[in-house]
């Protein structure tokens, strides 16, 4: 499958169209964008539960979340320490928490359109003037972003597919 196929027709990324933008956060230095309803699954062998949104994007390269032409949250905000409190929270964490609170309220923000450039940049246009831009900023051939369907297959850029 080509990367162009990933957003067209029945490609994996096209599954996001019409899904609710449900959360933003970070894990292990990656940006995490979540879409769709929360799902819960229990591993029958281990008895361990797992919960998360139906779809997620894990982003290791540069990204930004915008609203009405202004950057609301960016990848380098992870290195900007927040003021007050224990000082262990970054501005990314502070802003992500506020954004998650807003995403929980109606009207919900929904994915309208997705574009993918030939070199792996993703553009996600949502309702209410919101956009997510993910752009490759390294020549290294390592993973830049990963689209996953919870409990399903992953699409990894650059160019491979994998499962959990």
The radius of gyration of the chain's CA atoms, rounded to the nearest angstrom, is: 16
Q: What is the pLDDT of residues 129-156, one digit of tens each?
A: 999 999 998 888 889 999 998 878 888 8
Q: What is the dihedral sign for C-alpha 115, 121, 124, 130?
A: negative
Burial 82-116 (b: 16+ CB within 10 A, else e): beeeeeeebbbbbbbeebeeebeeeeebbbeebeb
| Count of positions (residues) in the chain | 164
Note the pLDDT of residue 154.
87
Q: What is the pLDDT of residues 70-92, one digit of tens each?
A: 999 999 888 777 665 556 778 88
Note the pLDDT of residue 141.
84
């Amino acid at each position: 499958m080509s990367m162009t196929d990933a957003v067209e027709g029945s490609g994996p990324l096209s599954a996001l169209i019409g899904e609710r933008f449900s959360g933003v956060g970070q894990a292990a230095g990656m940006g995490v964008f979540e879409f769709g309803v929360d799902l819960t699954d229990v591993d029958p062998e281990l008895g361990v539960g797992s919960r998360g949104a139906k779809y997620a994007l894990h982003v290791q390269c540069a990204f930004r979340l915008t609203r009405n032409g202004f950057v609301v949250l960016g990848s380098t905000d992870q290195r900007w320490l927040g003021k007050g409190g224990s000082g262990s929270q970054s501005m990314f964490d502070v802003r992500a928490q506020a954004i998650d609170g807003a995403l929980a309220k109606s009207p919900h923000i929904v994915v309208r359109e997705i574009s993918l450039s030939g070199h792996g940049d993703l553009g996600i246009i949502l309702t209410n003037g919101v956009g997510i831009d993910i752009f490759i900023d390294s020549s290294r051939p390592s993973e830049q972003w990963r689209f996953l369907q919870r409990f399903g297959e992953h699409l990894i850029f650059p160019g491979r597919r994998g499962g959990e």
